[in-house]
Amino acid sequence: MATMNAPTKVAQTNAATKSPQIRVSRRSLAYWRVTIDNPPINVMGPEMVQQFQEVINALETDEQVRVVVFESAVDDYFLNHSDFTAKLEDLTAMPAGPTGLPPWPDFLVRLTHLPVASIALIRGRATGNGSEITLACDMSFASREKTIISQWEVGVGMVAGGGPMARLPELIGRNRALEVLLSSEDISADQAEAYGYINRALPDADLDSFVEALATRIAKFDKWAADGARVPQAGGCRKSAGILRGPN
């Protein structure tokens, strides 16, 4: 419905070497869309990680943006596991981000702390990295019919690197978090909504208009008020209690 603007400089930087896997478009000065587009199944390799770094750099620098929506242009896949055909050293050679963490968890932590409302619009598989960006966003809304979400790492002998062990218990409690992590099972949108893993599951036909209305609404609000209303992430109990006790 909304027309995509031309790719920004952020994406064009990457286009020099290869077709960009992430496109940033500005629906308005205050409302950005980030579109993940690495067909056929939206795996995440070193190039995409680098492009996520550029996206978060741009979001942190911009003074107008108030809302950012993450979505996929690839049918049936929101964001998938890592690209196991890529050279591992291309990933491990990337420098740490400003938080001191490797680039992917660095992106996720900065996204969570960003003074911009972040929304995951999920349609299709959100496996591993796709679940992790969902948890790092402020809010998530998913197609009831087309979404599958999972942290599948334990099932293949790995440990998730993007922090779901920290973020999931905050949302769904320790015991359901352990079920998600230790079972490594695919989870439907309905089950994810019942657990509080995502904010809401919506009929696929309604999902786009719901997110569009919400993002447009938030984009109109005063930025300082929205910033003041932000709540803390994992480990934030103390920070949030501080609100009740006055500055500390």
Site map 38..67 versus its own copies, x via CB under 8 A: ------------------------------
- 149 lies in the binding site for its own copies (CB under 8 A): no
| Residue 67, Ramachandran bin (φ over 0: left; ψ between -120 and 50: alpha; else beta) | beta
Binding test (CB under 8 A) with its own copies, winner from 15, 29, 205, 243: 243
- Kindly write down the DSSP assignment for every residue of 70-93, as one continuous string: EEESSTTEEE-SB-TTS-HHHHHT
- Tell me the site size for its own copies, rule CB under 8 A: 68
Nearer to its own copies, 21 or 118 (CB): 118
SS3 198: coil
- Binding part of the chain for its own copies, among 2-10, 43-51, 71-79, 99-107 by CB under 8 A, reads 99-107
Nearer to its own copies, 41 or 234 (CB): 234
Sole residue written with tokens 């690209």:
83
Listed residue (147, 123, 148, 143) closest to 202, CA to CA: 143
Restricted to residues 180-209, the positions that interact with its own copies (CB under 8 A) are 181-184, 195-196, 198-199
Q: CB of residue 5 vs its own copies: minimum separation in angstroms?
A: 24
Distance CA 245, CA 61 (A): 32
- 236 lies in the binding site for its own copies (CB under 8 A): yes
Q: CB of residue 25 vs its own copies: minimum separation in angstroms?
A: 21
Nearer to its own copies, 73 or 234 (CB): 234
Residues 6+ apart with CB under 8 A from 19: none
Distance CA 10, CA 24 (A): 7
Distance CA 218, CA 212 (A): 10
Distance CA 200, CA 6 (A): 31
- 214 lies in the binding site for its own copies (CB under 8 A): yes
Judged by the rule CB under 8 A, the positions of this chain that interact with its own copies are: 100-101, 105, 109, 117, 135, 137-140, 151, 153-160, 163, 165-166, 168-179, 181-184, 195-196, 198-199, 214, 217-218, 221-222, 224-226, 228-238, 240-246
